DNA sequence: CTGAAAGCGCTTACAG
DNA sequence: CTGAAAGCGCTTACAG
């Protein structure tokens, strides 16, 4: 179409617009004419024709457990950001952490002829990614790692250790961990890091205080309730995820306990809500957007045939009121005022 | 490829697999052979070739202000659900409510040859969608409506009225509205519905108590602070969005006021967090997922050449502790215990 | 420096 | 009922 108008052959136009073959593939005069008209017409090559010919779609499939989870949504934003910068477009979809859906959605992506996949939902109990690797499908993991597959994730183990150090400094000796889903490397590594860190500080966490649950507020609330139903009460609760931490705060409040005063609460990811909560939440900030960006860049290099190495991005603890640490100050910790405060509150308000 | 193996012509295979032309386009014996092998081989037609030939990509572009906002993420889940069911794939991206980005991302989608667009980010102050309509680009709005363009949204005005009715029943006469962004139909309609409803109940809201702000916790907190800084204090705050409501709760707590006891707080959308908050939040449930689903179905009909009519989905108020309504019971409303409760809390904990 | 041809994998009238 | 041809819009060696 451009070619006709310029009285040139379509191949010449293509050569120029793709700018390979030595300098430009045409005389500078011709090049200028082509570029000018392309600009003027807002010409965009038909990507379907290009894909058909080049066998490269510049399409990438992204799977996440749940896009309505702000952590995954933000990771996806990072993926998409890098994808756009590198000339790819992305399809995203939810797998709801269901292996069959993960499989079905991936096949759908592949039938759409994506060049590669980014998985934010790898399960340590499923061999799905192993199979894909065996089939030669290019992919990168993010959010959760698995096996030796290339990934860009947060150093969750270190994040867990930072939480342990913080709680030890505050003098906590009775710590419960809301450990998330047992098949997610995030929950596993954060929990292990915390338990290891505490152990090094001489604090052991009883098995009954490591409770698995979904990564949302309802899950955190249920897990916290389970812990609080026991005979002894922990002085600190580490939830491997901010939403679970919010749920834990709710469970505490139901028992007339206040986060940050009666029980320290620590979350993970430092979602924007953490600092805005009525009782601001201590949380480990993880570089979620960067994770997504890096994952996409790894995939790009993989697609270019390079060998890539997995990335572990550093987290950082952000201390707020929910673990402000009045522990060690008996006047505050045991303050009758605190008990009284909660006591007379009308039951109807909860 | 299937054709060769079967000793048939590719056109025969195509005819059968697409199942048009009378019964099936081939003899029942042939049909069976083709279907069997296609199944066996897991054959999927190359969508790029199909798109090139048919000039239909079965691709849809989706724009939202922010995918990390759970409301938009859930709407997108609905869009994607319907898209999958109807045989489309979707590209989603953020426009961050910036008109230039909205424009640029849309052009990018169009250059990818999407069949149509779903916009969750229409701005009442921008003529962008008007231009697109003039250019003949098929699209449907969701989340926010605008002009007469086809849309699937919540009946936000009615939702606002439900809030008004609830607050009137509780006896509130001093109500502030955190109205969201001034260019979003959601905020505008919810606010208008509430103000109209209150007015009919004889309650007028002073202009200074209708405050615009971003649709997030930080925005809600800032807006609430502005209201609370005034000489008179409202007895109820309606935030047109749950996250703004959470921010408002934070602002209240900073002033030693408790949501649901000192000041009623109502949100909108009934996000999953609302019921899980330490103080559960009264909120208007809006059918977000359905909105997305319906929008995609409208687009499908539009692409089929049908005339479509906009949809207004009904919301429903869900009452919780944050507006439990002790108003009218002076012993509780004015309870010195409440003041005392907040008073002695160590400043360091906030 | 530019043109002409082949071909990517489909679909769709049109023959036979 | 099935085949053969044309063509969607590109890219890429290959001529000249």
Q: Which residue is nearest to nucleotide C1 (CA to C1')?
A: A26
pLDDT digits (tens, 9 = 90+) for A267-302: 999 999 999 898 999 999 999 999 999 999 999 999
The architecture in CATH of the region A57-149+289-314 reads 3-Layer(aba) Sandwich (3.40)
Whole-Å CA distances, B314 to A2, B154, B185: 50, 6, 16
The pTM of the full predicted model, rounded to 2 decimals, is 0.90
Higher-confidence residue: A198 or A334? A198
Q: What's the pLDDT at B324?
A: 78
Residues 17-36 of A with CB under 7 A from strand D: 17-18, 20
| Number of residues written out for chain B | 350
Window 61-120 of B: residues touching A by CB (8 A cutoff) are 67-68, 70, 73-74, 76-77, 80, 84, 89-94, 108, 111-113
Contacts of B248 (CB under 8 A, 6+ apart): B178, B220, B221, B223, B224, B237, B239, B259, B265
Whole-Å CA distances, A301 to A153, A290, A296, A304, B102: 17, 16, 9, 5, 29
B55-149+289-314 folds as Rossmann fold (3.40.50)
> φ, ψ for residue B187 (rounded to 5)?
-60, -45
Chain C bases near protein CB atoms (7 A cut-off): 1-13
- How far is B296 from B88, CA to CA, in rounded Å? 10
Cβ atoms of B26 and B16 within 8 Å: the answer is yes
| pLDDT confidence tier of residue A331, bands split at 50, 70 and 90 | very low
Q: What's the pLDDT at A97?
A: 96
Tell me the CATH class for A156-286+320-349: alpha beta
Q: Break chain B into its structural domains and give their ranges.
A: 2-45, 55-149+289-314, 156-286+320-349
Residue of A nearest to B96 (CA): A77
Which chain B residues contact residue A279 at CB under 8 A?
Answer: 253, 278, 349-350
pLDDT in tens, chain B (350 residues): 677 777 788 888 888 887 765 555 566 777 888 888 888 889 999 999 999 999 999 999 999 999 999 999 999 999 999 999 999 999 999 999 999 999 999 999 999 999 999 999 999 988 999 999 999 999 999 999 999 999 999 999 999 999 999 999 999 999 999 999 999 999 999 999 999 999 999 999 999 999 999 999 999 999 999 999 999 999 999 999 999 999 999 999 999 999 999 999 999 999 999 998 989 999 999 999 999 999 999 999 999 999 999 999 999 999 999 997 544 343 333 223 333 333 333 333 33
pLDDT at residue A213 is higher than 80: yes
Interface contact flag, A77 B90, Cβ < 8 Å: no
**CB proximity A226–strand C (7 Å threshold):** no
**CB proximity B34–strand D (7 Å threshold):** no
The Cα of A323 is separated from the nearest Cα of chain B by a number of Å equal to 9
Q: How many CB pairs under 8 A join A and B?
A: 150
| pLDDT confidence tier of residue A9, bands split at 50, 70 and 90 | confident
Is-same-fold flag (B55-149+289-314; B156-286+320-349)? yes
Of the candidates B126, B105, B226, B127, the one whose C-alpha atom is nearest the C-alpha of residue B182 is: B126
- How far is B157 from B193, CA to CA, in rounded Å? 4
Q: What's the pLDDT at A335?
A: 29
Of the candidates A242, A221, A253, A215, the one whose C-alpha atom is nearest the C-alpha of residue A341 is: A253
């Amino acid at each position: 179409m451009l070619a006709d108008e310029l009285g040139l052959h379509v191949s010449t136009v293509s050569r120029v617009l793709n700018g390979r073959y030595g300098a430009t593939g045409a005389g500078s005069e011709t090049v200028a004419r082509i570029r000018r008209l392309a600009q003027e017409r807002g010409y965009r090559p038909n990507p379907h024709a290009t894909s058909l010919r080049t066998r490269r779609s510049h399409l990438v499939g992204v799977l996440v457990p749940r896009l309505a989870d702000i952590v995954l949504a933000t990771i996806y934003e990072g993926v998409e950001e890098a994808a756009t910068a590198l000339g790819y477009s992305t399809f995203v979809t939810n797998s709801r952490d269901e292996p069959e859906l993960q499989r079905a959605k991936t096949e759908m992506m592949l039938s759409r002829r994506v060049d590669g996949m980014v998985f934010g939902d790898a399960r340590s109990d499923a061999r799905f990614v192993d199979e894909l690797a065996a089939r030669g499908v290019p992919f990168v993991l993010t959010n959760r790692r698995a096996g030796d597959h290339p990934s860009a994730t947060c150093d969750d183990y270190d994040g867990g250790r930072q939480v342990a150090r913080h709680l030890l400094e505050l003098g906590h000796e009775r710590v419960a961990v809301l450990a998330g889903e047992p098949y997610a490397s995030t929950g596993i590594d954060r929990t292990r890091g915390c338990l290891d860190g505490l152990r090094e500080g001489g604090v052991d966490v009883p098995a009954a205080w490591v409770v698995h649950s979904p990564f949302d507020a309802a899950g955190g609330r249920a897990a916290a309730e389970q812990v609080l139903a026991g005979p002894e009460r922990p002085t600190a609760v580490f939830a491997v995820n901010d939403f679970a931490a919010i749920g834990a705060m709710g469970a505490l409040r139901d028992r007339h306990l206040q986060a940050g005063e009666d029980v320290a609460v620590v979350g993970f990811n430092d979602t924007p809500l953490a600092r805005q909560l009525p009782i601001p939440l201590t949380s480990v900030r993880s570089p979620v957007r960067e994770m997504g960006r890096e994952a996409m860049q790894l995939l790009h290099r993989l697609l270019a045939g390079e060998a890539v190495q997995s990335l572990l991005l550093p987290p950082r603890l952000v201390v707020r009121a929910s673990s402000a640490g009045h522990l060690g100050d008996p006047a505050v910790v045991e303050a009758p005022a605190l008990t009284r405060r909660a006591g007379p509150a009308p039951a109807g308000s909860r």
